[in-house]
Amino acid sequence: MALWSGRFTENVSEFTQRFGASLPVDKALYAQDIAGSKAHAAMLGSAGVIAQADADAIVGGLERVQERIEAGKFAFDINDEDIHMSVERALIADVGDAGARLHTGRSRNDQVATDTRLFAKQRCEDLMAANVALRQALVKQAEEHPDVIMPGYTHLQHAQPVLFAHHMLAYVWMLARDFERLAAARRAADASPLGAAALAGTTYPLDRQMTAASLGFSRVIPNSLDAVSDRDFLLDLSYACSVSCMHLSRLCEEIVLWSTAEFDFIELSDAFSTGSSIMPQKKNPDFAELIRGKTGRVVGDLVALLVTMKALPLAYNKDLQEDKEGAIDAAKTLEDCLVCAAGMIETMAVKPESMRAQAKKGYLAATDVADYLAKKGMPFRRAHEVVGHLVLLCEQRGCDLDDLALADFQAESDLFEADITSALDLDAIVAARTTEGGTGHAAVAEQLALAKQVLAADEAAL
Ligand code: ARG
């Protein structure tokens, strides 16, 4: 029989017992559940709600339950609906009446919200650490290749040359924002619902500040109805996971493209590649593809929780039991993806010659040639047209802009002089982009220093 079975004369069927149970999912929260119960028991003892000896017996008993779970010696029973019931039943079996006093002034409604918030805080911290490790790998690649030039793209068409380091750092900034989102999700979770009881608070003189402080919460949730029904913190975590996974999917899509014979910009290490069961020559970027693919389930976890929350009346509803599985999955999936991506980026070999060879194709100097004319006084829109004609000429001849003779340039405009070569040279084109945040070597060096500063601050905040 369930611990709440006093007013019942019939048991639920085995099927409905399983259908209603959350134990297979929430047993992952055993440590948080035990921590919450220890804090509640200690507070009950100190407030004189239960005898200090009973509080001490409860705390000792909970520690033994935790040891048994961690030693794999705890027999989880599906007749227990959830981890809260499992732990409480085991506690009562161990310490008897004292254990039966633990649930005084508490409901599973504030208990589960407390456990889930503690869990969410921890997972945010784990993810923030994994985020830092991936950023370190990207920064390392940027630092190791300060002069490597690659084509920059818009519409996946060659656009303007950029530094490979600049491209890597773009992902570092995405991840820096992901870190902020995870930190915000952590702050959202960092409030104690304990003491809200079922929905309305209790008649016992509970010290909510005391349990909040002993569990490491920075504040108490001011409204008992809100305390037991709010799952915004899990939405925040799932959203942070979704955006971060989406960023990883973009990075991985580029890794997949760059690994093709067509691009040939990088080679993944064997440790992050797989072969084919039929084609002996194959080296597939499976893990990059898998990260790209896993983004779907993480976004699915977010959407599932949003829809579960929609139109729920106050306060606790059993629908809320559906909150944990997706959030746990989103956090675990993102963590795995971050760890995998860090190893993959850290060990990938960059191919500067292939990148440069591609950067020579597709008239990447065109904007700079137009800028050359504009700087000599021609209105930019007119200069754009002149260079368009030159590109057309190259297309007809099957050559690139730097294959044209000075006379070809001068046939389009008499503003062209011998120094036009400076607008055609890849290294000069890149170096000339001196704007703050631009791809010029000096600007990228400054950006790298800033990215490292933010990274160091984030690492120190872990
Ligand atoms: N297993 C439940 C959950 O995860 C715990 C809270 C149940 N409360 C209740 N009154 N049925 O949400």
Structure pTM?
A: 0.95
Q: Are 179 and 131 within 8 A, CB to CB?
A: yes
Residue closest to 237 by CA, chosen among 316, 310, 178: 178
Q: From the DSSP assignment, how many helices (H) and strands (E) are in the chain?
A: 19, 4
- Return the pLDDT at 387: 96
pLDDT at residue 10, as a whole number: 86
Tell me what pLDDT residue 75 has.
Answer: 94
List residues with catalytic annotation: 155, 276
Tell me the pLDDT band of 214, cut-offs 50, 70 and 90.
very high
Q: What's the pLDDT score for residue 282?
A: 85
pLDDT at 24 (0 to 100): 96
**What is d(CA 383, CA 375) in angstroms, rounded to the nearest whole number?**
10
* pLDDT above 80: residue 146: yes
Q: What confidence score (pLDDT) does residue 90 get?
A: 98
Q: What is residue 163's three-state secondary structure?
A: strand
**Ligand 1, pocket-test mutation among 8, 82, 88, 199, most atoms within 8 A of CB:** 82
> What is the best residue among 18, 30, 321 to mutate for testing ligand 1's pocket, by most ligand atoms within 8 Å of CB?
321
- For residue 289, what are the CA distances in angstroms to 212, 256, 337? 43, 7, 11
Q: Any idea which residue has 């979770």 for tokens?
A: 189
Classify residue 265 by its DSSP letter. Answer: -
User: Which pLDDT tens digit goes with each residue over 179-195?
Assistant: 999 999 999 999 999 99
Say whether pLDDT at 1 is over 80: no
At 218 the pLDDT is 98
**Ligand 1 atom 3, closest CA:** 321
Distance 62 CA to ligand 1 centre (A): 20
In this structure, of 147-161, 269-283, 293-307, 346-360, the range with the lowest mean pLDDT score is: 269-283
- Per-residue confidence (pLDDT) for residue 8, from 0 to 100: 87
Residue from 287, 288, 286 nearest 255 by CA: 288
Region of poorest pLDDT, from 128-137, 273-282, 420-429: 273-282
Q: What is the pLDDT of residues 441-452, one digit of tens each?
A: 999 999 999 999
CB 11 within 8 Å of CB 1: yes
- What's the CA gap between 48 and 206, in Å, rounded? 9
Q: Give the closest residue (by CA) to ligand 1 atom 12.
A: 321
pLDDT of residue 12: 86
Measured in whole angstroms, the distance separating CA 51 from the mean position of its chain's CA atoms is 45
So what's the pLDDT on residue 16?
94
- Of 431, 379, 378, 369, whose CA–CA distance to 406 is shortest? 369
Mean pLDDT across the stretch 241-264?
98
- The structure tokens listed for 405 are 């003779």
* Lowest-pLDDT choice from 214-228, 241-255, 271-285, 347-361: 271-285
Q: Rounded mean pLDDT of the chain? A: 96
Domains, the chain, ranges and CATH? Answer: 14-104 (1.10.275.10), 109-141+155-199+222-356 (1.20.200.10), 360-431 (1.10.40.30)
Which atom number of ligand 1 is nearest to the Cα of residue 21?
Answer: 1
Distance of CA 333 from the midpoint of ligand 1 (Å): 25
pLDDT at position 278 over 90: no
Nearest CA to ligand 1 atom 2: 321
Distance 112 CA to ligand 1 centre (A): 7
Cβ pair 386, 371 in contact under 8 A: no
CA separation for the pair 330, 242 (Å, rounded): 8
Q: Output the ligand 1 site: residues, CB below 6 A.
A: 22, 26, 81-82, 108-109, 112, 316, 318, 320-321
Percent of the chain with pLDDT over 70: 100
Structure tokens at 272: 């992050």
* Residue 133 to residue 88: CA distance in whole angstroms: 39
47 pLDDT exceeds 90? yes
pLDDT of residue 445: 98
What is the mean pLDDT of the segment spanning 408-424?
95
Q: Is the pLDDT at 293 greater than 90, yes or no?
A: yes
Q: HSE, CB side, 13 Å, CA atoms: give it for residue 168.
A: 31
C-beta of residue 224 within 8 angstroms of C-beta of residue 201 = yes
